[in-house]
Each structure stands twice: as structure tokens, then as C-alpha cells.
Structure 1
């Protein structure tokens, strides 16, 4: 796990009002750590401390790499001597290539750091409350859309907006309500601050967009502390934005979900041009600043997202390379003709799927209409016929891909029942070199 975390028993002042009890610890995402650094509260940790926590076994890595390298040399020498290669060896070669690349990229990556660095100080309460309200850790559950994506959860911060007061240049947190009246334009150069002593004591729950938001108890404490964080830290105030026009909300949501959106899909105006300069209200954009547990998978809490084209290219190039290794065994000594053609079809389909998706990624990068069509399918706004068609095709290709990969692994072991005699021969030069295995 590791990382930075707020601990309810260690981070916060005992005299401070309780605002969170669902979990003992709240772990910061990379975006949360960046905000903490911008506020000047990120603890200094040396590389020696990280290395001391890491449980990396470099000797074990070296031995594994030497063993994989020795296996690769053996395969090359067998080919040079004209000896047959078994399907199991072909399968292992594909995994060896992937393993060597991963070892090279992750050689200095810390591993198995269980305990995070606990954040302490009088500043932790307001910032932790603000991050919780801005993140998904306390959001109302979303619903599944007709497409593939789960509808965005309702965050506590979306039920707030901050009003700029023309008389003293302050910003006051209030709850959203229907029928809000537009106010006159105010001076945008006023410093954004929050009023202290907000009175938001409600006797009953408030229903906002079919979601019950309870402002009493801990939720009310989070509100007060979040407003205090906005007042104390200028870095937090940079997250306040004027509300986006309703006509541009879809474009803004797509841009927030896919920052790597192709230039052809972007409108000629930037995001700031979409903001209503006439509105006296400021809102907070939803950001994944904290989470329950740290994750190694890509998520929206990363400081820099990996571009869809880059991610897709890497994944499908790896798939094509894996396919090429198995296609190389086209004329291997299969036990039967049926197994030979199943092996060839499975190998070619894996490569075909990689080429197909790489082609679609490139086309989507060049065609704005195709990119937006795919986005409409993802958010459930495309026609039902198109959504069902794409779902059926993707499901069918996915099932065939899984079956193809499974067959390659199974066939590698099944072939062992009838190996040619020369498969047991080894190059003579390797006998004179001391080795294990």
C-alpha cells in the first residue's frame, strides 16, 4: 500500500470535531499528494527511507533474469542446430520476453511497502475534509448506464457552491437550490475566501437530484472544515471554477474523463472559454484526491493520465508480438492436423485483434465523428441498436480472444504426449557449461 494517508486516530486533533469514521485511514492519490505539496505540507522523505521500506530482492531478480536469458540462448542454439522447438518452449518464450521487459522497467520500483506515511499536524483536518468531499470515498452510488460506463457518482462537493460577495470579497458556501436567481456581474479580481461561522444546521435531510444528502453530524463538520481549507490555502482555491454552461457540459465531462482527447475532437475554444463569466458562483470540480486504499491500476487520481492512443498502442503491440512468437511455430510437429490449424487460427486471431484495435485507435485519433460516436456509446447516449451491435461484437471478439489464449496454453502441454525424438536432444556446447535446469 504505502503512500501518504490521514489516520483518524493519529492525524487529527482530539479536540477537533469528528468528520469521518467510515474508515480508519484515508489514502492520498497522486493528485492529492500534489495538492498537499502545493499547500506546503508534503513531508520530506529521502530515497534511503523508501529503499529501507521496500522489500525488493535484487538478487532474486538477477537470478530470474539470468535463468530467462539462459533459456532464450538455449532456444536460439536449438534453432541454429536444426533441433525442433516444442510448443511449450514457444509459449515460455513469449512470457520470457514480457518478463524481461517488466524487470527492466521495474528494477528500481519499491515493492510491498505495507505501511503508509501518516500525515500529522493542525492543518490535517481541514485539508482531509476538503479532499473527502471532493473525492468518491463518500459519494452516493451511481447507476449502470445502457452502455459500458457506470454513471458518475454524486459527490458532496457538487452540492455546494461558493458565492463571491461584492461588498467584502468573500466566498460563502451554500447548498444548491432550484430556481436560483442570477445576480449582477461582480469584480472577478476579488480574492476568493470563505466566511467563517457558516450556519448550515438542517433539521431534515435534503434531496438533491434523487440523492439524499445528510448535512447533519459528520457531513456538517466536513462542510465547515472544507470551507476553512479554502480560506487557509491558496492552492485549494485554484480548484474553484465558475460553473460550465449547460450546452458545454457534455464536452467538459468528456475532456475531464479523457484529457488526451485528440485535437480534432476539441472545440476551437479552450475550457476557460466555456465558463460563465457572468455567474457570481464558484464550484469545485470533482477530483479523486483520496481513496480507501492505494491502487497500482490506472485511475483518475493520477497526476498525468496515460493517453488512450499510447495505452492502446502499448497493449496491442504487446499482443501482436505475443502472437508473432506463436505464429513462428506454424510448421511445428503437431500431434494432429486439427490441433495444427487450431494453433494457427488462435495465433493469427490474437495478432488480428491487436492490429484491429490499433487501427481503430488511429482512426479515432484522426476522425472526430468516430471518437464522439464511441464516447456516446460509453456514456449510453448512442442509439440502442448501435449500442447493442457494438456490445455484441466486442463480447464475441473478447470471448474468442480468451478462448484463443486458453487454447495456446493448453495445447502447449497437450503436445507433450507425442514429442519427436529430437525434441529431447540438446546442443552439445551447453553440456560443458555448469548450469541448473
Structure 2
């Protein structure tokens, strides 16, 4: 066993504080500048700071979640850029330039004109109106917002503010209501601190140079330095993926104008009515279970009383819903004090939403005619520009979505293999105790074997959703007795393993090999400077 040394002060050379400060400053600066939060619906300083710190903690413990979301966001922005550029050549020129003193961009129209004009300049043939990836990233991260007003059940005027999602942006572009925004406008709104990023870049290069030099000279690299170096690599990848994403935006552009108000009401009507339908479906499932439980109890008692089963929620098209909620006689909606607030909102915005549907159809957009007949809902508005959602990738035990094979899952397991494999580089490192050494090895091996557990999770849910008789054992619920504890244990072990690397890296500073405090001999690394 090599000679070890306890906590060492730094005045006479490299000390424990130097190692700790070098790693923590590098890790903190990298994560702080690498994470690019989306635009909040409403900016609050305290909430923004807490949210940013939460994202930093997530990036330190589960960097693959940040990486996969960043990649998905870039791919979505690229698709949106292509859709907008394809539609923008036939869009109606409706948008005056943005005024410096206002964040409201207007899109006014004097009628339901269906004449289409190219947005591009015909005079010089330039693509001044075309989008680049920076504008698309701005839109995807919640750069545009819509507001809709309505009167609640008590006669008070309320406002609904939502961020425009990717499919909503595409619809606005196809119908000529997408405001003209240049890449320079996005850059001006971005609060990217070039000095901070240059400082981080210098810090990264200096830290990487030190680690490489210590490896060349055969000097011990501490687990904290190994862990930090791995996260530096993650930061570089994140920088590359989010290179064109605006940084630290606090406000979105609010779209305004008469027609935009109608279209916004339509978007909100669609989103709220779809959410209300899903709520009714969930309520029906609960009622159906209770109904059949009660029927079984009655039959077991010998009672033959009949009660009709609960009614299945009807999936109606959007025009039909608009007519129902727009009718003056609303008794069929069954308003009372216990009614869902969404019902009142739908009735309040239905007139404007019907105007919005006419406007879009006059512009050649009839997607909302049969939209409720599709299984996949349109992503036109969002209540918040949610940053990172683990359930959207892996699903959860209580949902029936997110369990299918996907590129996100492949990226997650491959990243865990790489992440755990790099930590295996410290396999032969002399930790303060044998238990710490074996826990480090076990944690790394748990991550390396993550493809096995990911594949079992997907195969399990494929069996649950399959209609084959041979897989009935997965559907009758008996196998859940074994599967639920197994996967719950895997999740706990996975989380503990990820956190263990950081905890033991910090705790290991109490007792390090003696050569971990040796300074680098730069003349041996660069002999031509001697």
C-alpha cells in the first residue's frame, strides 16, 4: 500500500485546499455556464435562481438527462427551422418590425384574405426572412407567448398566458402570422456572458492540462479530479449541442393583434378541451372499476338489481365542441358550483376560438377539423417551457406511455456505460478504506450494466401491453409482485451510485496518497522549454 497523507495545508506546495478549490471551481463554472434554461412563463428572480441551482444539481448527478434533453431540443429546433423555412416562402406579410420600447409584436389583418405572398424579398432574392438554427432554438425554448382573456363564473375578467410550442409556431408560419425575427434580434435578447465563457474555457484547458501532465509523469490523480474531468467532457458536449441556444432569457415575445387573439383563443380551446377529455377518460376508468366491483358484490349477495354502466366519454371534433360551447343555451353543459373551471373557460373563449378557426381555414389551414380524431395531440401551446422531464423518456409505473424503445433510451444507456466506464479508470486507486474502493467499483459496474436493466424495463412493458396469450402472465398483475420491487431497487441503486461518486470524491480528500500532493514538473512535460 502506498504511503498516505492526511489533510495537507497549501502554503508550501499543492495542498488539499488547492485540489478542492480547483475541482469545485471548475465543476461549478462549467455547469453554471453550460446549462441553458428555457424561457419561464413568468419571471421571478427567486424562483429562477432556485430553478437554476436545481438544474445544476441535476447536471452534476444525472448529466445524461441534461444531455438527452439538449439533443432533443436541437433536433426539434432543426425540424422547426425546416418547416418554417418551407412555409415562410408562401406566408402573408403581416408583421411590422418590433419596436425597441415594446415586447409585443403585432400581427394585424383586416379580413380573412386567402391571398398568399412570398415573405422573401423578390427584389434581391435574398433569404432575409428565412430562419437559422438560432431563431428556431429561441422559438423551441419558449420565445413566443399568447394571451387570451375570458370572463369567469363570477363575472371577473381573467387572462390565460401560454407559450407557443413548435406545432403552434409552424401553424402561424403557414398562415402568415409568424412575426419576422432576425438572428441578430435573438442575440440582442440573449444575456450570454462572453467573458464568463472565456474564463470557463481557460479554466477547462488549464484543468485538463494538469490532469494529462500528472498522468504523463505517473503522479496520482485523485478521484475528485477524475470525476471533475469526466464532467468537463460532458460540459464540452453540452456546449457543442447548445452552441446556438440563447442564454439566460427571462422574457418571451408576446404576440398581439386582433387575429392573433382569435387564434390564441383557438389554441387554448383545443388544449383545454383535450385536457378535459383526458380527465373525463380517467374519471370513466375509475367509475368503471367501481361499477364492476359493486356488481360483483351484489351478485355474491344474490341480488339481481341492475344499474346502467357509466357512459364512455365521447371524442368529438373541434368544430362540434366549438358549437356546443358557443351556444346561448348552455344547460346541456350542466353548470353548477361543482363544475370544472375548465368548462367555464371553454364557454368563455368559444366565440373567439370559432373566429380563430375560420381565420386559419381561410388561410388554408384545416388541421383542426379532424384533430380530435388523431391519437397524437397537437403541441400548440404549453403552460410552461419545462426543461427536463425524466418520465417523458422512461415513463413511469402509473402511465402507459414512455416505455417504448426510443433513441433517448439508447442515448441514456450508452452514456451510462461511458460514464461508468470512465470511473472504472480509478479501479486500482488506493481509497482510504477497502469498503470505499469496492463501493466505487460496484457503482461504476452498476452504470456499465444499465443496458441490461433498460432492456428489461422495455421488454417488461412490451409484455404488459401485448395481446398474446403466452404473455398473459405479464398482464394479470401477479408478476408485478416481483417486477415492482426489482425495478424500484434498480432505480434506488442507480441514484445512490450516481451520488456516491461525488460524495466519496469529496470524502476521499481526508486521506490521499502522498504523491497526490506532488507538484507537476513542467520541464519534463515540455522539455523544449527547459
- State the TM-score, normalized to the length of structure 2: 0.55
Q: 1:243 to 1:409 in 2, by over 3 A?
A: closer
CA distance in 1: counterparts of 2:522 and 2:447, whole angstroms: 36
SS of 2:358's partner is helix
For 1:179-218, list aligned pairs within 5 A. Answer: 199-203=327-331, 205-206=333-334, 212=339, 218=345
**Residue 191 of structure 2, aligned match among 55, 59, 62:** 55
Contact 1:84-1:423 at 8 Å conserved across structures: yes
For 1:102-113, list aligned pairs within 5 A. Answer: 102-113=238-249
CA distance in 2: counterparts of 1:98 and 1:391, whole angstroms: 32
Contact 2:317-2:370 at 8 Å conserved across structures: no
Q: 1:342 to 1:134 in 2, by over 3 A?
A: same
Q: 1:288 to 1:427 in 2, by over 3 A?
A: same
For 1:261-410, list aligned pairs within 5 A. Answer: 286-297=377-388, 309-353=406-450, 355-357=451-453, 359=455, 370=463, 372-373=465-466, 382-410=475-503
CA distance in 1: counterparts of 2:353 and 2:432, whole angstroms: 69
CA distance in 2: counterparts of 1:132 and 1:232, whole angstroms: 15
SS of 1:7's partner is strand
Contact 1:5-1:119 at 8 Å conserved across structures: yes
1:237 matched residue in structure 2: 366
CA distance in 1: counterparts of 2:158 and 2:508, whole angstroms: 54
Comparing 214-223 with 339-348, greater Cα deviation is found at 214-223
Structure with the larger helix share: 2
**Residue 415 of structure 1, aligned match among 484, 490, 508:** 508
2:350 is the counterpart of 1:223 = yes
CA distance in 2: counterparts of 1:159 and 1:22, whole angstroms: 27
Q: Deviations over 1:192-213 (max 9, x none)?
A: xxxxxx6342146438xxx956
For 1:110-125, list aligned pairs within 5 A. Answer: 110-125=246-261
1:127 matched residue in structure 2: 263
Q: 1:373 to 1:77 in 2, by over 3 A?
A: farther
Contact 2:446-2:497 at 8 Å conserved across structures: yes
CA distance in 2: counterparts of 1:41 and 1:371, whole angstroms: 45
Offset at residue 426 of structure 1 (A) = 2.3
Contact 2:318-2:368 at 8 Å conserved across structures: no
Q: Deviations over 1:160-211 (max 9, x none)?
A: 5546xxxxxxxx95449xxxxxxxxxxxxxxxxxxxxx6342146438xxx9
1:88 matched residue in structure 2: 224
CA distance in 2: counterparts of 1:242 and 1:328, whole angstroms: 53
SS of 2:145's partner is strand
CA distance in 1: counterparts of 2:216 and 2:341, whole angstroms: 73
Contact 2:317-2:369 at 8 Å conserved across structures: no
2:91 matched residue in structure 1: none
**Residue 3 of structure 1, aligned match among 128, 140, 143:** 143
Offset at residue 136 of structure 1 (A) = 4.5
Offset at residue 239 of structure 1 (A) = 2.8
Corresponding pairs, count: 332
CA distance in 2: counterparts of 1:216 and 1:338, whole angstroms: 60
Contact 2:463-2:475 at 8 Å conserved across structures: no
CA distance in 2: counterparts of 1:236 and 1:296, whole angstroms: 30
2:178 matched residue in structure 1: 42
Offset at residue 83 of structure 1 (A) = 0.9
2:521 is the counterpart of 1:424 = no
CA distance in 1: counterparts of 2:272 and 2:226, whole angstroms: 45
RMSD: 3.9
Offset at residue 18 of structure 1 (A) = 5.1
CA distance in 2: counterparts of 1:39 and 1:417, whole angstroms: 65
- State the TM-score, normalized to the length of structure 1: 0.65
Offset at residue 53 of structure 1 (A) = 0.3
Q: 1:4 to 1:61 in 2, by over 3 A?
A: same
Point out where structure 2 has 5 or more consecutive residues left out of the alignment: 1-38, 40-141, 287-312, 393-401, 468-473
